[in-house]
A and B are shown apart, each in its own frame.
Chain A
């Protein structure tokens, strides 16, 4: 089923996709002419496949549950923010805060992601085939941020228990973020993720970063800083 966003209002299209008749067999949808509109395909909650042909604005595929959404274009701020499950694939570049606060599911960005990718992520897997901008995985709590290219400055600032894997160069690490040993368990974890997504990539080429856990508790020595 096709929707032309030049002809049909986004609110109607979103409303349709958010309330799929589960007895109906329609499971594949295509959206054309997104024209950079905001909040395209937010709040989908069924196992459907949606293809978006063109560039989207803010919060595309936000709060997604179960749906597979592919964007053939670039996406604006906060793609797949607070995603719960399902899969979102971006064929182009993503703007800032991609996958912000994501609880689950997979976000794949085939181009670059800009600043604060995976900010405050809570369990989502984010794979960026290009590079990520500064302050990525800021305050990230759970899940994996896997970067095939480089990471800009202050990676993983104030990070909790999320894991960061970077194949390329890291410009600088943020507060309390350190390089960690890439052990057998981590390699197996990455292998599993790659296998499930049909990605042929060698986990051993990645370095792992995570929390030094020094900001978790108040330290009396730091009192003078406050």
Chain B
């Protein structure tokens, strides 16, 4: 099953409430995915500052603080449940190398100038509270509640998957040719951290974008290359895109007002949003890329 949600703010009016909105949306989708939850929040970038979202796994916060302070200078570290977000001017290639070689027991969930990304096993209703999602502000965000089917209930198996700077993907459905696509992408230099099918789709999108393709044309091409059934929400720092496969058995509904665009697997995830009853509500068509 799984539930996916996304909210894009068209005006500044609700920027401080973004986390609160997204939290309610994940809460509403807990019924579709009680195993784990994750979300990505995009906020305005701060010049040369990069944000690295890191899951500590088994490492204690103190141990991590001591270790990272020896490896990176001038960082701002904020703790959220078992995650930390590090803000620094150090560029991704340097930080990723340090994490991979000297801090193997923690995992980098995502990074970029705009994105903060968190995921954890457990009921979404609890996960959003642990991360204090309702206190976040930002411009847009996407989220996922997972009912695990093709791989185990772990943080690594949870969405969103981020495979490049400021990019991430959530997925409701399953892909049948992911092993084949993964092999092609690995040959092309893409790296994967899990056996999950969605990570392959995220890697596929990042791979195409790194070659200069637009998100829209990448998603159109994915209709041919990715076999399976899916509703995708792909986030970038400018907004997000939505695509359903051509059979469209996985649901999606869109509500648009003058202030925001909300996407969810089911309407009940957005019933709490302001003015939603007077919003323009429609079901996205199969095989059509929508982006905001």
Q: Do A and B bind each other?
A: yes
27 residue pairs of the A-B complex, CB under 8 angstroms, read A35-B268, A35-B271, A35-B272, A36-B28, A36-B269, A36-B270, A36-B271, A54-B277, A55-B281, A74-B281, A76-B251, A76-B267, A93-B282, A95-B251, A95-B283, A96-B248, A96-B283, A112-B282, A114-B283, A115-B248, A115-B286, A133-B248, A133-B285, A133-B286, A134-B248, A134-B286, A152-B285
Interface membership of A73, Cβ < 8 A: yes
B269: nearest residue on chain A (CB-CB)?
A: A36
Interface membership of B95, Cβ < 8 A: no
B268 and A73 contact, CB distance less than 8 A: no
By a CB distance below 8 angstroms, the chain B residues around A35 are 268, 271-272
By a CB distance below 8 angstroms, the chain A residues around B267 are 36, 55-57, 74, 76
The smallest beta-carbon distance between B109 and chain A, in angstroms, is 30
By a CB distance below 8 angstroms, the chain A residues around B28 are 36
B270: nearest residue on chain A (CB-CB)?
A: A36
Which residues on A are within 8 Å of B, measured CB to CB?
A: 35-38, 54-58, 73-74, 76-77, 92-93, 95-96, 112, 114-115, 133-134, 152
Interface membership of B253, Cβ < 8 A: yes
The prevalent SS among residues of A at the interface is loop
Complex-state Cα separation, A152 to B270, whole angstroms: 28
Contact of A37 among B248, B251, B268, B285 (CB under 8 A): B268
Interface membership of B20, Cβ < 8 A: no
Q: Name the residue among A73, A114, A152 with the largest chain B CB count within 10 angstroms.
A: A114
Restricting to B255-289, which residues have a CB under 8 Å from any CB of A? 266-272, 277, 281-283, 285-286
The smallest beta-carbon distance between A91 and chain B, in angstroms, is 12
A36 and B286 contact, CB distance less than 8 A: no
Complex-state Cα separation, A115 to B270, whole angstroms: 22
By a CB distance below 8 angstroms, the chain A residues around B282 are 93, 112
Known: A74-B281, A95-B283. Contact between A57 and B251, CB under 8 A? no
Complex-state Cα separation, A77 to B250, whole angstroms: 11
The smallest beta-carbon distance between B102 and chain A, in angstroms, is 48
A76 and B266 contact, CB distance less than 8 A: yes
Complex-state Cα separation, A149 to B283, whole angstroms: 17
B271: nearest residue on chain A (CB-CB)?
A: A35
Complex-state Cα separation, A56 to B281, whole angstroms: 12
A77 and B268 contact, CB distance less than 8 A: no
Complex-state Cα separation, A152 to B266, whole angstroms: 23
Complex-state Cα separation, A76 to B281, whole angstroms: 11
A34: nearest residue on chain B (CB-CB)?
A: B271
| Besides A35-B268, A36-B28, A96-B283, 15 other A-B contacts (C-beta < 8 A) | A36-B266, A36-B267, A36-B268, A36-B270, A37-B268, A55-B271, A57-B266, A73-B277, A92-B281, A95-B253, A96-B248, A96-B251, A114-B285, A133-B248, A133-B285
Complex-state Cα separation, A76 to B270, whole angstroms: 13
Known: A36-B271, A76-B266, A77-B251. Contact between A55 and B277, CB under 8 A? yes
Complex-state Cα separation, A54 to B279, whole angstroms: 12
The smallest beta-carbon distance between A16 and chain B, in angstroms, is 22
The smallest beta-carbon distance between B168 and chain A, in angstroms, is 26
Q: Name the residue among B28, B268, B269 with the largest chain A CB count within 10 angstroms.
A: B268
Complex-state Cα separation, A163 to B286, whole angstroms: 25
By a CB distance below 8 angstroms, the chain A residues around B277 are 54-55, 73
B251: nearest residue on chain A (CB-CB)?
A: A77
Restricting to B216-267, which residues have a CB under 8 Å from any CB of A? 248, 251, 253, 266-267
